[in-house]
């Protein structure tokens, strides 16, 4: 990760915006977050003591609609990281055409050190601090790293208790019985999977001959692995925060996931019903996984894992960014020069926010959609966005990342110009 991830994100937008011939006034507007809230969150611990945690929420840009973005629980959360993630979310929503701006939040905490009751108290404390900052018409949080549907349910419940209203649209990614949407659980991975299917059509990839390595086996990493394997792709490497496993013949993804849920460890296993057996494999590091000779590399963990230092060692033909910002901006040119095609995060992982939008829309309508309808509409949005970005890249001789950012910045620019810019007022 770069020393200042926000500066990295900032420079990427500035550079691409300039090459896309977007008005400097519009680019300058994207350099300034709309509002940031930081709060100390007092939490009563199980032993009776009180600990204080820092909570952050950034509403980056709301030109296209209310701000939208996840809340992550991680010891390395920083203000700069939250701002960068909120900027990326602004771009992401514009890429796929959602009526949202970008936001993001986080708490500086290692959630693995908290009991379930401490985790609930922390989640509710965050909402108490942010209750006047978030809202279904203003800023809508969602799950992110180390947060899930249950935590979103606690947060929505706390907001409703404070406001004394039923407001399911304040949070997305909730449990289905609390107003969540069917299809939200695998939406991020499914969105990336849909992008890979479109890429395969463009590049004439045969699934059974295509090898895939996935760094990160959380929600996004698992579901894209599962869906790709069901399609016939060979998943040869998987990792979590502790390390990676590699097997040239490939793995059974569901067996590994089942064992990880049971033992909390990543093990190379094959399960037949309740009986799981170890299979032959190599144990490698996360950095070694990134440098494997595979067709598709999927970074699905945290940002900044591919840098100018290791970019020259990347052997994959395609990179699909399920994580936010896994490739630093100064590594992009190195990868482009090597002929590696990157499906950028602002397109590849947009499935999550898209189905969050569906959940918000259902909450506002008071009508639940079927899973088939969710998958159909997600497929339409992801395929349409992918084709638009691909065609723009070909037309203007740009990388897919440059094309995605160009598409987003121009959309945001059109909204800003509708209010009037310097050119209008000086005409």
| Catalytically active residues, by annotation | 104
CA 293 to chain centre: 25
Antiparallel, parallel or unpaired: β 234-240 and 139-143: unpaired
Give the pair of three-digit tokens for residue 238.
């998987």
413: nearest Cα among 83, 17, 15, 6: 17
CA 328 to chain centre: 16
> Contact, 160 vs 178, CB < 8 A?
no
The HSE-up count of residue 222 (CA atoms within 13 Å, CB side) is 15
CA distance 229 to 209: 12
380 Cβ partners below 8 Å, 6+ apart?
Answer: none
> Contact, 41 vs 127, CB < 8 A?
no
Give, to the nearest 10 degrees, the angle between helix 400-419 and helix 79-96: 90
213 Cβ partners below 8 Å, 6+ apart?
Answer: 235, 236, 237, 238, 246, 289, 290, 292, 294, 296, 297, 298, 316
Which DSSP category does 368 fall into? P
CA distances from 403 to 202, 336, 340 (A): 16, 14, 15
H-assigned helices in 139-252: 149-163, 187-203, 219-231
């Amino acid at each position: 990760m770069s020393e200042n991830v926000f500066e990295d994100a900032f420079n990427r937008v500035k550079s691409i915006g300039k090459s896309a011939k977007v008005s400097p006034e519009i680019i300058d507007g994207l350099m300034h977050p709309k509002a940031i809230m930081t709060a100390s969150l007092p939490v009563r611990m199980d032993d009776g003591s009180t600990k204080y945690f820092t909570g952050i929420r950034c509403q980056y840009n709301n030109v296209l609609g209310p701000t939208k973005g996840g809340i992550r629980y991680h010891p390395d959360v920083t203000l700069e990281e939250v701002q960068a993630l909120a900027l990326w979310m602004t771009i992401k929503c514009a890429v796929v055409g959602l009526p949202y701006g970008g936001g993001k939040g986080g708490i500086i905490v290692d959630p693995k050190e908290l009991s379930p009751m401490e985790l609930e108290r922390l989640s509710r404390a965050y909402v108490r601090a942010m209750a006047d900052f978030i809202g279904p018409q203003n800023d809508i949080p969602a799950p992110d790293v180390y947060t899930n549907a249950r935590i979103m349910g606690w947060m929505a419940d706390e907001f409703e208790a404070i406001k004394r209203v039923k407001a399911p649209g304040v949070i997305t990614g909730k449990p289905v019985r609390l107003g969540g949407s069917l299809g939200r659980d695998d939406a991020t991975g499914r969105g990336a999977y849909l992008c890979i299917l479109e890429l395969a059509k463009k590049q004439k990839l045969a699934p059974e001959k295509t090898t895939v390595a996935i760094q990160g086996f959380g929600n996004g990493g698992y579901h894209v692995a599962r869906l790709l394997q069901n399609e016939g792709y060979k998943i040869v490497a998987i990792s979590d925060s502790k390390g990676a496993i590699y097997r040239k013949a490939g793995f059974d993804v569901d067996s590994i996931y089942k064992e990880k849920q049971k033992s909390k460890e990543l093990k190379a296993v094959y399960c037949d019903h309740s009986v799981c057996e170890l299979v032959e494999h190599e144990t490698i590091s996360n950095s070694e996984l990134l440098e494997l000779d595979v067709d598709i590399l999927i970074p699905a963990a945290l940002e900044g894992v591919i840098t100018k230092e290791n970019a020259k060692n990347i052997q994959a033909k395609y990179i699909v960014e399920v994580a936010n910002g896994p490739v630093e901006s100064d590594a992009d040119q190195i990868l482009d020069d090597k002929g590696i095609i990157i499906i950028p995060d602002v397109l590849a992982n947009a499935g999550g926010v898209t189905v969050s939008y569906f959940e918000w829309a259902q909450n506002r309508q008071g009508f639940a959609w079927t899973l088939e309808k969710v998958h159909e509409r997600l497929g339409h949005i992801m395929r349409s966005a992918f084709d638009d970005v691909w065609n723009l890249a070909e037309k203007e001789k740009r990388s897919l990342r440059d094309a995605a950012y160009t598409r987003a910045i121009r959309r945001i620019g059109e909204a800003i110009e509708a209010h009037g810019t310097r050119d209008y007022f000086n005409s």
